[in-house]
Amino acid sequence: MKKLLIILLLAVVGYFLTVSMSNIKFGANRMGDLSQPKTVGAFYLSKTPGELSVANVITAIVVNYRGFDTLGEVSVLFLAATGLGSILYKKKKKGEHIPTVNKPSSALLQAGSKLIFPAILVLGAYVFIHGHLTPGGGFQGGAIIATGFLLMMMSYKDFTMNHSVITWVESLAGITFASIGLIGLIVDHSFLENFLPIGYINDLISGGIIPLIYVAVGFKVAAELSGVLDTLLSIKEK
């Protein structure tokens, strides 16, 4: 009876999925003529290469056209990290070290994570440095770097994050983001306006302020998420 119900439910969901999917014409040009854009998407697609010379249009929208929104997102993440830290804050005695894992992990995992950790850091840095060329960006790269730190925390009992370093990195990255926006306000009359030469499309140094902002966002997200993970792992079950 239960199985029958499940099959029936799946059939209903499948039917509506098929109906709604069959209306989408895959591969059809739904943007229309890019030289005379009619939709917002077509407008961005037609303007981005000339105005900003950024290969990844999504990055151009997120960081440049809607850069203020991204600043807000970064501060939401900052607030979340601060809130977690203030709720779970535990005063440590001087020199006291709270281990992140109860039991030591196996020698195999320790050796392997030593091998993988640099590769994860390089991948994360690649993702946020190439945010304007390939899919990815500051948030994704920062999250990848934080997973690398999580791996180290879980495999080494006495791996600690230096919280003052985390705070400094986070603050400096945030200040960089805001001050880039302020320079744009001073030079070009509006907040987060592009004031650097845009270069040529598909070059590493192109797109004006976009790579700078994404590097700052990458560092900020990596520091925040690592701090959050460290705080969460240091709770002890009673």
Partner 1 sequence: MMEIIKYIGYIAIGIGSIFLFLGALGIYRMPDVYNRLQAGTKATTLGAMSTILGVGLVEPTWFVKSLIIVVFIAVSNPLSSHALARGAYRASLTPFMKKKMDAYESEIQNEKED
- Least distance to partner 1 from the beta carbon of 29, Å? 27
Residue whose CB is less far from partner 1, 12 or 111:
111
Place of tokens 């390939």: 134
Q: Pick from 19, 28, 40, 108: which binds partner 1 (CB under 8 A)?
A: 108
# chain residues binding partner 1, by CB under 8 A: 10
Mark out the alpha helices in 23-135 (DSSP H runs).
40-51, 57-59, 67-87, 107-129
Q: Does 105 bind partner 1 (CB under 8 A)?
A: yes
Q: Does 115 bind partner 1 (CB under 8 A)?
A: yes
Residue whose CB is less far from partner 1, 84 or 109:
109
Helix axes 210-233, 163-188, angle to 10 degrees: 150
Q: Does 25 bind partner 1 (CB under 8 A)?
A: no
Q: Does 106 bind partner 1 (CB under 8 A)?
A: yes
Residue type at 94 in one-letter notation: K
CB-CB contact of 227 with 170 (8 Å): yes
Q: Does 122 bind partner 1 (CB under 8 A)?
A: no
Q: Does 103 bind partner 1 (CB under 8 A)?
A: yes
Q: Does 109 bind partner 1 (CB under 8 A)?
A: yes
Residue whose CB is less far from partner 1, 28 or 115:
115
Work out the widest C-alpha separation in the chain, in whole angstroms.
Answer: 70
Mark out the alpha helices in 159-209 (DSSP H runs).
163-188
Cα(178)–Cα(216) distance, integer angstroms: 10
CB-CB contact of 211 with 58 (8 Å): no
Q: Minimal CA–CA distance to 64: which of 217, 222, 220? A: 217
- Span of 15-23, 68-76, 100-108, 124-132 interacting with partner 1 by CB under 8 A: 100-108
- Span of 90-98, 99-107, 135-143, 217-225 interacting with partner 1 by CB under 8 A: 99-107
Sign of CA dihedral 78, 83, 88, 92: positive
Binding region for partner 1 (CB under 8 A): 103, 105-106, 108-109, 112-113, 115-116, 119
